[in-house]
Amino acid sequence: MKTSRYVVFGIAAVAALILAFLVRGMIGGKVTHEAAATVQAPAVPTARVLVATRDIPAGTRLVDGDMAWQDWPVNTLNPAYIVDGGRPDAGASSATPASGAEDAAAKGPVAVKKPGNGVLQAVADKVAPSPSKEAYVGGVVREALLANEPIIPAKIVRADEGGFMAVMLNPGMRALAVPVSVDNTAGGFILPGDRVDILATHQTPRQNGGSGTIDSVQPVLRNIRVLAIDQQVSAEEGKQSVIGATATLEVTPSDGQILTLAKASGTLSLMLRSYADAAGPSGAVMQEPVGASDQSVRVIRPGSTSEVLVSR
């Protein structure tokens, strides 16, 4: 009875030793395989691409916070992307190896795959030199951008490029320039982006066969956006007034006809509106020709008397 018990214990001990060796071999093989996979994983070169930091609708003027540089794999790089410096970051080729790679290197030489100079040169040839990020600050978005979407020049109109004014216009609106001076632009305090009312001053012959002319003033348009003064589309930092010879206004096609007729018949004056009134109605004040429904008012001043036409 004792002999059979010893035989059973012996067989169990041998089986336990065999099982222990098998488990140890399986664990060791898995660790070696993972270490090899970690060491042999190639480093992917990247380039810094200019992307949108938020959803930006069309017509928005870009500020510095709307854009940021983001690492982008060179194998998915599009030639239209704006790349920092016009070529990928070569530092990606010398990425820090993983801890497993350091341990393997300590034991002996290990072949670690790195992107060669040929890859970087190919991408550098593929991507044209791009302007700096600052070159796009102040530009206008031509097509809507999504957050983290790479920015391409075709969707942005820079401030120093042609077509900038066309992007600033709202749909259905037109840009029309009128002559101005410091006297009829609120002393030069009308800046791009302000809202104005437009008056037309003209001279009409005296009625009833009288000699001389009568000065008349008529409101033409109200709540009109100023796009530019001369070629300035934005007020310079720290500058509170702009004096120019022309003001570019945003008007509808029909309002443009009325304004052109008023400009041909006399002198235009721009009245600056308060920001609190910017949400009011905009457009033509009346469709009748200048002077069609004017009334004469006699103005008596010390030593002189004059008549002025006032529109109803």
Q: Answer yes or no: is 6 within a domain.
A: no
Instruction: For residues 199 and 297, state if they share a domain.
Output: yes
Tell me how far apart the alpha carbons of residues 291 and 205 are, in angstroms, rounded to a whole number. Answer: 11
Q: Answer yes or no: is 10 within a domain.
A: no
- pLDDT computed for residue 305 by the predictor: 63
Q: Look at residues 157, 185, 205 and tell me which one is the last residue of a structural domain.
A: 157
Integer CA distances (angstroms), 15 to 19, 50, 148, 194, 259, in order = 6, 64, 60, 92, 103
Instruction: For residues 153 and 181, state if they share a domain.
Output: no
Q: Answer yes or no: is 233 within a domain.
A: yes
- pLDDT computed for residue 2 by the predictor: 65
Neighbours of 70 (CB within 10 A): 16
Tell me how far apart the alpha carbons of residues 301 and 287 are, in angstroms, rounded to a whole number. Answer: 33
Q: Answer yes or no: is 284 within a domain.
A: yes
Instruction: For residues 103 and 200, state if they share a domain.
Output: no
**Model confidence band, residue 112 (pLDDT cutoffs 50, 70, 90):** very low
| Beta carbons within 8 Å of 188's beta carbon, 6+ residues apart | 182, 241, 242, 243
pLDDT digits (tens, 9 = 90+) for 250-309: 999 999 999 999 998 888 999 999 988 888 888 998 644 444 455 666 667 676 666 655
Instruction: For residues 229 and 123, state if they share a domain.
Output: no
Q: Could you tell me the sign of the dihedral formed by the alpha carbons of 15, 18, 20, 22, in that order?
A: negative
Instruction: For residues 307 and 187, state if they share a domain.
Output: yes
Q: Answer yes or no: is 14 within a domain.
A: no
Distance of CA 47 to the CA centre of its chain: 22
- pLDDT computed for residue 103 by the predictor: 44
Total number of domains in the chain: 2
Q: Could you tell me the residue range of the domain that residue 180 belongs to?
A: 170-311
Instruction: For residues 191 and 275, state if they share a domain.
Output: yes
Instruction: For residues 112 and 187, state if they share a domain.
Output: no
- pLDDT computed for residue 289 by the predictor: 43
Tell me which residue of 198, 160, 194, 163 sits closest to 179, measured CA to CA.
198
Show the tokens assigned to 58: 């069309």
Tell me how far apart the alpha carbons of residues 86 and 126 are, in angstroms, rounded to a whole number. Answer: 9
Tell me how far apart the alpha carbons of residues 60 and 218 are, in angstroms, rounded to a whole number. Answer: 35
Say if residue 204's pLDDT is above 80. no
- pLDDT computed for residue 275 by the predictor: 87
Instruction: For residues 113 and 234, state if they share a domain.
Output: no
Task: Please compute the mean of the pLDDT values over residues 92-101 and round it to a whole number.
Answer: 40
Q: Answer yes or no: is 227 within a domain.
A: yes
Tell me how far apart the alpha carbons of residues 116 and 43 are, in angstroms, rounded to a whole number. Answer: 10
pLDDT digits (tens, 9 = 90+) for 139-155: 888 888 999 999 998 88
Strand partners, 111: none
Instruction: For residues 293 and 190, state if they share a domain.
Output: yes
**Model confidence band, residue 102 (pLDDT cutoffs 50, 70, 90):** very low
The H or E element that residue 224 is part of is strand 213-229
Q: Look at residues 116, 135, 157 and tell me which one is the last residue of a structural domain.
A: 157
Q: Answer yes or no: is 36 within a domain.
A: no
Q: Could you tell me the sign of the dihedral formed by the alpha carbons of 217, 222, 223, 224, in that order?
A: negative
User: Strand 304-311 to strand 213-229: parallel, antiparallel, or no bridges (unpaired)?
Assistant: parallel
Show the tokens assigned to 40: 């042999």
Q: Look at residues 132, 157, 182 and tell me which one is the last residue of a structural domain.
A: 157
| 3-state SS assignment for residue 253 | helix
Q: What is the mean pLDDT of the chain?
A: 75
Show the tokens assigned to 54: 């938020």
Q: Which of 25-29, 58-62, 77-81, 219-223 has the lowest mean pLDDT?
A: 25-29
Show the tokens assigned to 110: 């290990």
CB 108 within 8 A of CB 66: no
Q: Answer yes or no: is 15 within a domain.
A: no
Task: Tell me phi and psi for residue 196, to 5 degrees.
Answer: -135, 155
Between residues 159 and 176, the one the model is more confident about: 176
Instruction: For residues 215 and 288, state if they share a domain.
Output: yes
CB 224 within 8 A of CB 169: no
DSSP letter string over 116-173? -HHHHHHHHHHSPP---GGGGTT-EESS-B-TTPBP-GGGEE-TTSTTHHHHHSPTT-
Instruction: For residues 79 and 206, state if they share a domain.
Output: no
Instruction: For residues 176 and 293, state if they share a domain.
Output: yes
